[in-house]
Structure 1
Amino acid sequence: MKHVSILVPELSVMQAIADPRYLFTAVNQFLAVAGRAPLFHVQLVGFRCEVKLNEGLFTVHADKELKDVPQTDLVIVPALAGDMASAVAANQNLVPWIVAQYHKGAEVASLCVGAFLLASTGLLAGKKCSTHWGFANEFREMFPDVEVADGSIVTEENRLYSSGGANSYWNLLLHLVEKYTDRETAILASKYFAIDIDRNSQAAFALFQGQKGHNDSAVKAAQEYIEKNYNDRISVDQLAEKVAVGRRSFERRFYKATHNSVLEYMQRVKIEAAKRSFETSRKNINEVLFDVGYTDTKAFRTVFKKITGLTPIEYRNKYNKQVQQKDKLLIP
């Protein structure tokens, strides 16, 4: 029997507490129907038994308090809610228990931005971690000793697991089900809950908004210039000259401020503009690539897929409603 302890943190997302309980309980039912013994003993665990969420709108009742769970096999850290620094601070009373369980041999899995609480334990130092793409830069600022696995749905290292944003945590839960049971049971669970079991990237959902949470005015000026002139051919030398900073110093400062090289930043701005065009216009691939400053179709396709995980055609077909309707009309 695997003991699964789902934490009930303050300032957390109720669904990220309820969903893992639902899944592991359902898997027990699947096993029973197949004539097999239930595998998971699932319980909600909190610092106290009653935890109010959503400013008191909901109350979650934990099955046990931390002090009554001396040992477990798997700790689930649900997604936090609101301001991450405040949520992490509000839940520091959970940290010693998480660390103690890990050192006793338990595995620990964070869901979405639950990675912030897991990272605050120090267990992720020097390791890779996934989190919601929209919080990746904030995570880097708070935990510079943890490597963010950009775009990843599931990251696993040394009995520590983390997932990408929002519903991506279902893929981590399925990953754990497959590990503890088998592929057949995980597939059954994926079908029951209507989850794409093999989705391995959240890159297609990410929006690039530029990292502006820094105080380097020269870098901000360069970012703004790139974003206003993404359809032009801009060189690093031109940018450095515009902001009156030597090239080597400019490149170093730019990377420190944005966690992107200048070239990577320019590519991401161009691809973000291309994504918006694919989502809302009827333009073909060549029209879009020229609009965003590319002249080489192969180069555009390579960079686009690297950043989004999809080819330009796949992305357009996925998100453009006009294209979807046109395709339906062509189907006899």
Structure 2
Amino acid sequence: MVFCPSRILVNTLCHIRYHAIIVNNDTIMVNTANNNSALFFKITLITFMNSTKFTVTVLGFDQALASAITGALDVFAFAGISWQRIHKLSPSPQFRVQLASHHGQPFMCSNQIMLQPNIAIEDVSHTDILLIPTIGGNIDEVLRDTQPLLVHIKRLQKVGADIAANCTGTFLLAQTGLLTNKTATTHWGYADKFKSMYPNVNLQPDKMVTEDNAVYCAGGGMAWIDLSTQLIERYCGHQIASDTAKSHVLDVSRTSQTIYASSRQRRLHADKDIMEIQSYLEKNMRSKTTLAELAKKHNMTERTMIRRFKNACDITPGQYLQALRIEQARKLLETSTMPLENLINAVGYEDLSSFTRLFKKTTGLSPSQYRIKFNRS
């Protein structure tokens, strides 16, 4: 069985009675039978692969994060090339990449580097993937200035493009309405802002990458690595995606960004009483105060406190306290060599086995694994 991604080649071969297909490093030989005479078709493999190349368009705009643009362009462009070069194999490029902007104008990235697109988004009639990079500057300013781009994102989605957004670029994607009633993720630090702006999106900020009906979102910062690798796998298969990741030394084992998140982000609300409770818990995370005592201390019933806390923070006071303790434990694992038995006492836990289970459930790593990965010493 021969994998023939080219529809043209498949259609041609379907109309020919052939005895064998011989695949070499640089050619495909088709031996056909026609009235006892043999006819050979020779197809150069590079030409074959070029004819099946997919197109990736990255959409540029002022205050975009440069690395989310140039990094993704490189990874897609070298899929099927880097691994082959290392192993002295014939290259088989999979993607044609292009950088687009409004009217093809140069744009200033958030690091003050100017990038020159090679096409205007208005002139892009087809692309397999449209990638929206991270907003590296002020989100509200960028959303205001990029209004003319929305119609083109929707236009390309209608003609079959997979739409993908990285990090805070998901805000721009959400502005199109294409995320309404869909699952999405974004940078964990901007999850509360995203929820308040787009309540009809099923936001899952713990996820590194989400996909819902060919609309892709990635989490914070460098999650374009995970997003790009997943898209390469979708279009080219697991082997090429794996080879590309290995040749570029990319960590593609990440499925959650919870390990990087901070519980302090849950303060983007207007309930001052709940803010006071949060402050109390942050200062007294080792305390054995019960929920009833905590509610009484802040002049409300336990039931009212839980309801208001959940409305403001999306989690209960108990879950918030647990998140604070885990976060403090992470900091101690990152910055100290404190024995685990002492460390768990320092953050309000007593049983090492139950703490270890909870820590691994939250971060995906055991405390020992976390210390090895993140300890600064």
Q: Same fold (TM over 0.5)?
A: yes
User: How many angstroms apart in 2 are the aligned matches of 1:4 and 1:55?
Assistant: 22
The alpha-carbon deviation at position 54 of structure 1 amounts to: 4.2
User: How many angstroms apart in 1 are the aligned matches of 2:332 and 2:72?
Assistant: 37
Q: 1:23 aligns with which of 75, 78, 86?
A: 75
Q: Which moved more, 1:85-94 or 1:29-38?
A: 29-38
Cα 1:271/1:56, change in 2 over 3 Å? closer
Q: 1:204-223 counterparts in 2 under 5 A?
A: 204-223=259-278
User: How many angstroms apart in 1 are the aligned matches of 2:168 and 2:131?
Assistant: 12
Number of matched residues? 322
CA contact (8 A) 1:95 1:121 kept: yes
CA contact (8 A) 1:81 1:87 kept: no
Structure 1 letter corresponding to 2:336: S
2:43 matched to which residue of 1?
Answer: none
CA contact (8 A) 2:66 2:110 kept: no
> For each residue in 1:258-303, what CA deviation from the matched residue of structure 2 results, as whole angstroms up to 9, or x when unmatched?
1221111010111111111222222211211112111222321222
RMSD (Å) for aligned C-alpha atoms: 2.0
User: How many angstroms apart in 2 are the aligned matches of 1:28 and 1:90?
Assistant: 37
Q: 1:98 aligns with which of 153, 160, 177?
A: 153
User: How many angstroms apart in 1 are the aligned matches of 2:64 and 2:376?
Assistant: 34
CA contact (8 A) 2:168 2:186 kept: yes
> For each residue in 1:21-49, what CA deviation from the matched residue of structure 2 results, as whole angstroms up to 9, or x when unmatched?
11121125359865475332211111122
Q: Secondary structure at the match of 1:211?
A: helix
Runs of 4+ in 1 over 6 A off after TM superposition: none
The answer to whether 1:255 aligns with 2:310 is yes
CA contact (8 A) 2:64 2:110 kept: no
Q: What percent identity do the matched residue pairs reach?
A: 31
1:286 matched to which residue of 2?
Answer: 341
The answer to whether 1:310 aligns with 2:345 is no
CA contact (8 A) 1:72 1:101 kept: yes
CA contact (8 A) 2:110 2:137 kept: no
> For each residue in 1:59-107, what CA deviation from the matched residue of structure 2 results, as whole angstroms up to 9, or x when unmatched?
2211211221122221000111222122222212111111121122211
Q: Secondary structure at the match of 2:200?
A: coil
Which one has the largest radius of gyration? Answer: 2
Q: Secondary structure at the match of 1:209?
A: helix
Structure 1 letter corresponding to 2:128: D
1:145 matched to which residue of 2?
Answer: 200
Structure 1 letter corresponding to 2:343: V
Which 5+ residue runs of structure 1 have no aligned equivalent? Answer: 323-332
Q: 1:269 aligns with which of 319, 324, 339?
A: 324
2:352 matched to which residue of 1?
Answer: 297
User: How many angstroms apart in 1 are the aligned matches of 2:103 and 2:84?
Assistant: 32
What is the TM-score when the length of structure 1 is the normalising length?
0.90
The answer to whether 1:11 aligns with 2:55 is no
1:325 matched to which residue of 2?
Answer: none
Q: Which moved more, 1:137-146 or 1:107-116?
A: 137-146
The alpha-carbon deviation at position 216 of structure 1 amounts to: 0.9
Structure 2 letter corresponding to 1:229: N
The alpha-carbon deviation at position 108 of structure 1 amounts to: 0.6
Q: Which moved more, 1:54-63 or 1:184-193?
A: 54-63
1:124 matched to which residue of 2?
Answer: 179
User: How many angstroms apart in 2 are the aligned matches of 1:92 and 1:68?
Assistant: 17
The alpha-carbon deviation at position 218 of structure 1 amounts to: 0.9
User: How many angstroms apart in 2 are the aligned matches of 1:86 and 1:56?
Assistant: 16
> For each residue in 1:125-158, what CA deviation from the matched residue of structure 2 results, as whole angstroms up to 9, or x when unmatched?
1222122222222222222222222322211111
User: How many angstroms apart in 2 are the aligned matches of 1:90 and 1:57?
Assistant: 17
What is the TM-score when the length of structure 2 is the normalising length?
0.80
> For each residue in 1:182-238, what CA deviation from the matched residue of structure 2 results, as whole angstroms up to 9, or x when unmatched?
222112211221111222222222233242222211101100110010011232212
Structure 1 letter corresponding to 2:61: P
User: How many angstroms apart in 1 are the aligned matches of 2:155 and 2:145?
Assistant: 19
Structure 2 letter corresponding to 1:317: I
The answer to whether 1:199 aligns with 2:257 is no
Cα 1:284/1:26, change in 2 over 3 Å? same
Q: Which moved more, 1:47-56 or 1:112-121?
A: 47-56
The answer to whether 1:158 aligns with 2:210 is no
User: How many angstroms apart in 1 are the aligned matches of 2:224 and 2:289?
Assistant: 39
